[in-house]
Chains A and B, each alone.
Chain A
Amino acid sequence: RAYVFGEDVKFGGVFRCTSGLADAFGTHRVFNTPLCEQGLVGFGIGLAAMGNRAIAEIQFGDYIFPAFDQATAKFRYRSGNAFNCGGLTVRSPYGAVGHGGHYHSQSPEAFFCHVPGLKVVIPRNPSQAKGLLLASIRDPNPVIFFEPKWLYRLSVDEVPEGDYMLPLSKAEVIREGTDITLVAWGAQLAVMQQACAEAEKEGISCELIDLRTLIPWDKELVEASVNKTGKLIVSHEAPVTGGFGAEIAATIAERCFLRLEAPIARVCGLDTPFPLVFEPFYMPTANKVSMA
């Protein structure tokens, strides 16, 4: 009772994510919708409310905004748990791709992190994506699953066959260290890895954490790491002001105040719309992270 739908999903989707599904499962279960984000997310809510797994695709995260009203996740709460749309998962590509400009590069995760009742999940590579996506689809809450489009073609990974899930709301330490904690998600982790490698050459031991689920987020793991290192950098492509890094910084400042040896730093996108020709300057590059 699972359905996959969205714009251009039937032939395989603009990023080939849904290739072969229509042939395998039939066009009543894998289908195109008219070009309307508010319609397709609303439709997904209705399908999910009837007990189905509705997997909606928003073609680019940049176009998710018309669906924002539909996505505000009060379905279970307002009905006193008589109804819910937990079967809904909204997948959408996000993030810089090198040439995307204003409308093919955005990172809208922060807007959704402010919605009680939603989960926001972002994988860093294909094997993580499979486990996290299966977990998201099966989670009994509506999930927004942002896929780093930069990695669609770039990322090569050994993905286990068979069914497996990775836990939501559990961050992962992907590089252990002792001098400083770095937190990021999605494509930004590759940038952070670079910065960590550079820092190591100068004798700085970095602990790198992939947050994986942004809400509800794994405060305990990050707190434990900062208690070990005493320093924190958070990094994301989205503009720094009001970005999700602010939530992490405020929470860790509250929890680790007496342990911190330096102010928490955020290395993020600038407070501008995502520029085309200026992209290299806009982005939170490894240089900027290293300097922080």
Chain B
Amino acid sequence: MLDFPGAKAAFTSRMEFISPNAAEAVPCFRILDDLGRALDGSDIPEIDSSLAVKMYHTMVRLQTFDSIFYEAQRQGRISFYLTNIGEEALNVASAAALTKDDVVFPQYREHGVLMWRGFTLDEFANQCFSNEDGHGKGRQMPIHYGSEKLNYFTISSPIATQLPHAVGAAYGLKMDRKNACAVTYFGDGGSSEGDFHAACNFAAVLEAPVLFVCRNNGYAISTPACEQYKGKHAIQLLAGRGYGMTSIRVDGNDALAVFKAVSAARKLAVEQSKPVLIEAMTYRVGHHSTSDDSTKYRSGEEIAHWRSVRDPVLRFRRWLESNAWWSVEDEKELRGAARKEVISAMNQAEKKNKPPLSELFTDVYDTLPRNLLEQEATLRDTVSKNPPSLAPH
């Protein structure tokens, strides 16, 4: 054995470069087949009917909200929106496997996690309409939700910046001996950012109880995964073996597999103070956002296929039906109710006032420094001398 500070390794007289494709691609864990039937030899996680139905309710409510609010943006009622279509099972099942004390550091396509935790339709709508009750006091674009009460850190647009935050937070949880972990989500695109590599390395070296959940949905806006990373091992092995972290690849469209994997990962993280990477394979059915038309870079057939045949919500529903926990009548009733609730929340939110002008200046610091007091005074003076269209309230 040769022992350098950098590694203890056996020596070899044969010079042999390691090919990046030497090993087989890491297999993907799933429990249900594409039609929602349990595969042979599967070990179904413990989910009773009420939990399963609650999960399904949340997925449907999320789908409904996405569909209606996407249209609202198209009609000019809100300035921006992005959907979670195709990733509902990943969102909700992963959230269901966590406790409310686990702190979430989202990217931006995890509204289902927040919905599961209890963010109300009104709260979602208020933020999207930037009204005075909305999270963030109207300062950020729609969908930039957050909730201190629900341990869901505020969404921000830059990619992967939340990953090192999650590691620091996890370290704090460990030192405070809390029965909780940090959980952070990101996409295949996010795994290219420096912050991803920094976070993985820090988490492993500093032994932080954090779950890295990669939503590998195949696209970063228009950039397909094959242009994001090289090699078949991609994110899972890179981050896993590369950074010294336990990891797994899972079928992100299989709610049961996601639930089981995240539950197990959470247990490992909390009990052993270690990070775990979960690469959840999925597909982004919707456009990147309302500013994108994905038919410009992928075929309509591909989108339609994943929207219909590979719909994770339908797949989970089939499993529920096979257990006689769900029926066609239940479906009709839920869809109708969800639609009504979302539209009502939207209409309420739209009517509310925008936040007062003072909120432009607050929270930059804990208290207003003199430069901001002066600027506010100057602005109010300007506004008072100008037409009512600029008038604040």
Looking at B75-83, B157-165, B262-270, the stretch in contact with chain A turns out to be: B157-165
Tell me whether B73 is interfacial, beta carbon within 8 Å: no
Tell me whether A134 is interfacial, beta carbon within 8 Å: no
What chain B residues lie within 8 Å of A83 (beta carbons)?
146, 148, 153-154
CB-based contact A141/B366 at 8 Å: yes
CB-based contact A43/B168 at 8 Å: yes
Looking at B88-96, B132-140, B312-320, the stretch in contact with chain A turns out to be: B132-140
Chain B interface size, as a band, is 35 or more
Tell me whether B103 is interfacial, beta carbon within 8 Å: yes
For B139, B158, B171, which residue has the most chain A Cβ atoms within 10 angstroms? B171
Given A42-B165, A46-B182, also A84-B170 (CB < 8 A): no
CB-based contact B161/A44 at 8 Å: no
How far is it, in angstroms, between the C-alpha of A202 and the C-alpha of B195 when the chains are bound?
56
Q: Which partner residue on chain A sits nearest B365 by CB separation?
A: A141
B100 smallest CB distance to A (angstroms): 15
A59 smallest CB distance to B (angstroms): 16
CB-based contact B194/A66 at 8 Å: yes
Given A36-B202, A219-B370, also A69-B164 (CB < 8 A): no
How far is it, in angstroms, between the C-alpha of A141 and the C-alpha of B156 when the chains are bound?
19
CB-based contact B364/A49 at 8 Å: no
List A residues 79-95 near B (Cβ within 8 Å): 79-84, 86
Tell me whether B39 is interfacial, beta carbon within 8 Å: no
Residue of B136, B172, B202, B371 touching A79 (CB-CB under 8 A):
B136
Q: Mark A162-194, 1 if CB is under 8 A from B, else 0.
A: 000000010000000000000000000000000
How far is it, in angstroms, between the C-alpha of A216 and the C-alpha of B364 when the chains are bound?
11
How far is it, in angstroms, between the C-alpha of A86 and the C-alpha of B166 when the chains are bound?
16
Q: Mark A14-50, 1 if CB is under 8 A from B, else 0.
A: 0000000000000011010110101111111111111
Q: Which partner residue on chain A sits nearest B173 by CB separation?
A: A50
CB-based contact A117/B362 at 8 Å: no
Tell me whether A201 is interfacial, beta carbon within 8 Å: no
Residue of A3, A48, A70, A82 touching B146 (CB-CB under 8 A):
A82
A255 smallest CB distance to B (angstroms): 11
CB-based contact A69/B158 at 8 Å: yes
How far is it, in angstroms, between the C-alpha of A38 and the C-alpha of B199 when the chains are bound?
9
CB-based contact B168/A42 at 8 Å: yes
Given A74-B156, A80-B136, A216-B369, also A46-B167 (CB < 8 A): yes
List A residues 190-237 near B (Cβ within 8 Å): 216, 219-220
B364 smallest CB distance to A (angstroms): 5
B301 smallest CB distance to A (angstroms): 39
Return the 9 tightest CB-CB contacts between A and B, nearest first: A42-B164, A46-B168, A39-B198, A46-B165, A216-B369, A79-B154, A47-B168, A43-B168, A50-B172
Sample of 8 more A-B contacts, CB < 8 Å, known A46-B164, A69-B161: A34-B198, A42-B164, A42-B199, A43-B206, A47-B171, A75-B154, A80-B137, A82-B135
**Interface pairs (14), CB distance under 8 Å:** A34-B205, A38-B164, A42-B161, A43-B168, A46-B105, A46-B169, A49-B165, A50-B103, A69-B195, A78-B139, A79-B136, A80-B146, A82-B148, A216-B371
- Interface residues in chain A, defined as those with a beta carbon under 8 Å from any beta carbon in chain B: 1, 3, 28-29, 31, 33-34, 36, 38-52, 54, 66, 69-70, 74-84, 86, 116-117, 119, 140-141, 169, 216, 219-220
